[in-house]
Amino acid sequence: MPVGSRIRRLKDRLAGLGFLPQAGAGLEGLRTENGVTVDMVVRSGQENPDSSIGVYAGDPESYRLFAPLLDPIISGYHQYSASAAPSRNLDPRDLAVTNLDPSGERILSTRIRVGRNLKGYAFSPAITAEARRELERTIVDALGSLTGDLAGTYYPLADMDEATRAQLVSDHFLFKQGDRFLESAGINRDWPEGRGIFVSADTRFSAWVNEEDELRIISMQPGADLLAVFERLARAVQSLEQILPFAYDERLGYLNSCPTNLGTALRASFHLTLPGLSKRSDFKELCLSLGLEARGVDGEHSEPEGGVCDISNRRRLGINEVEAVQALHDGTKRLLELEQES
């Protein structure tokens, strides 16, 4: 299909979802220094019409070169002016949160992650195999410098036996090979070379290397202690950013391949049981009205099953890290109240 037709079809689909990208003549002939074209940016959405967004940036320059397509999507998703400057706050003392489920009856676990890419490299859709291996070495060296409860071990995916890999995926520690949406975006190339997971001794801190983005920094633990999980994440991020040069833009914040992961690039989530609410036909719309996003516990593109859901903050850009985590706390508190009433 000609590139112009791809863009027009994607524009029509996104308009139906409430986004109004102004894609038009001129984008087809553009190419970033890493060789990223607008055809590469929109391919996943064109090959997967059920994609929620369907666009992936191939490198930082993509956000400037293809801004007529991407800026309206960014503003529509995050409800944020793409011209405003992002803010930052990783101070746990500014959180006004309580343990929403001290009995452990509803909230099974808490997880907060941020996505990061390194300055000077293309993102996963366009990176070369050699650069991915170089990134792996750089990131693993940085992770190896962590101390205390953040210290751990790196496990290269290419050297991992199948039983260990399957168990780590089942336990929600390890990512699996990307789905068809990531496949279409070119993110699965050279699998599993240059990829792996770093895990702390107590398994409450981990890092994914070269999954959808070059680095996912993750803090998680059983139960609903959101403050403890955020405090651990903040220490890890602050330690790593002293060593690694993260890709950052004064307009869009931390840069990742998917426009939904800009700004703070922070996703805070609870795995919780909502047997009543999750049966409602408007459950996802209810979550959206509270600033939340609902999915299944197997991640993006999965559905809640048996009343067990993954609930997270929707916005990442236009708010700081504390506000993103606070949104999860406040919205989930209301969900639990409504579940009790149902």
Torsion, Cα of 43, 47, 53, 57 (10° steps): -20
Determine whether 137 is an active site residue. no
Is 260 an active-site residue?
yes
pTM (predicted TM-score): 0.89
- Inter-residue contact 198 to 240 (CB < 8 Å): no
Catalytic residue among 32, 110, 138, 260: 260
Active-site pick, 295, 314, 315, 316: 295
What average pLDDT does range 289-299 have in this prediction?
86
Catalytic-labelled residue, pool 28, 47, 134, 300 = 300
Which candidate in 37, 43, 138, 212 is catalytic?
212
- The CA angle 115-53-114, to the nearest 5 degrees, is 10
Could you write out the three-class secondary structure of 258-297?
CHHHCECCEEEEEEEECCCHHHCCCHHHHHHHCCEEEEEC
Helix or strand (DSSP H, E) at 74: helix 67-78
Pairing state between β 215-222 and 107-116: antiparallel
Q: Is the pLDDT of residue 21 over 60?
A: no
What pLDDT sits at residue 84?
Answer: 65
CA pair distance 206, 55, nearest whole angstrom: 27
**119 vs 93: CA distance, rounded Å:** 30
pLDDT digits (tens, 9 = 90+) for 113-168: 999 999 999 999 999 999 999 999 999 999 999 999 999 999 998 888 778 777 77
178, pLDDT greater than 80:
no
User: Six-digit token pair at 235?
Assistant: 């220490």
**Residues 216, 235, 314, 315: which is the catalytic one?**
216
Q: At residue 111, what are phi and psi to the nearest 5 degrees?
A: -145, 135
18, pLDDT greater than 80: no
Query: With 0-12 CB in 10 A as exposed, 13-18 as middle and 19+ as buried, what is 228?
Result: middle
Active site residue 300: yes
Domains and CATH numbers, the chain: 3-78 (1.10.135.10), 92-341 (3.30.590.10)
Angle at alpha carbon of residue 328, lines to 327 and 330, rounded to 5°: 65
pLDDT tens profile 313-341: 999 998 999 999 999 999 999 999 999 98
Q: Tell me which of 232, 235, 267, 314 is the catalytic residue.
A: 267
Nearest to 193 by CA among 263, 262, 136: 136
Taking Cα atoms as reference points, which of 89, 88, 196 lies closest to residue 140? Answer: 196
Q: Which of the four pLDDT bands, split at 50, 70 and 90, describes residue 12?
A: low
Contact 317, 263 (CB under 8 A): yes
pLDDT bucket at 10, cuts 50 / 70 / 90: low
User: With pLDDT > 90 as the criterion, what percentage of the chain qualifies?
Assistant: 73
Question: In angstroms, how far is CA 325 from the centroid of its own chain?
Answer: 14
Residue 78 pLDDT grade (very low, low, confident, very high; cuts 50, 70, 90): confident
List the catalytic residue out of 43, 204, 258, 323.
258
pLDDT in tens, 48-71: 988 888 999 999 999 999 999 999
Contact 298/307 with Cβ under 8 angstroms?
Answer: no
Question: Is 232 one of the annotated active-site residues of the chain?
Answer: no
Active-site residue flag, 105: no
Query: Which of these is catalytic: 106, 113, 204, 316?
Result: 113
How much is the pLDDT for 293?
95
β-pairing verdict for 196-200 and 253-254: unpaired
315 is annotated as an active-site residue:
no
Q: What is the DSSP string of 89-144?
A: ---GGG-----S-TT-SSEEEEEEEEEE-BTTS--TTT--HHHHHHHHHHHHHHHT
Contacts of residue 237, Cβ cutoff 8 Å, sequence gap at least 6: 90, 114, 217
Rounded CA-CA distance 322/98 in Å is 14
- Is 216 annotated in the active site? yes
What angle is formed at CA 289 by the lines to CA 286 and CA 290, rounded to 5 degrees? 95
In angstroms, the Cα distances linking 133 to 58, 99, 159, 190, 262 are 17, 41, 14, 11, 24
pLDDT exceeds cutoff 80 at 195: yes
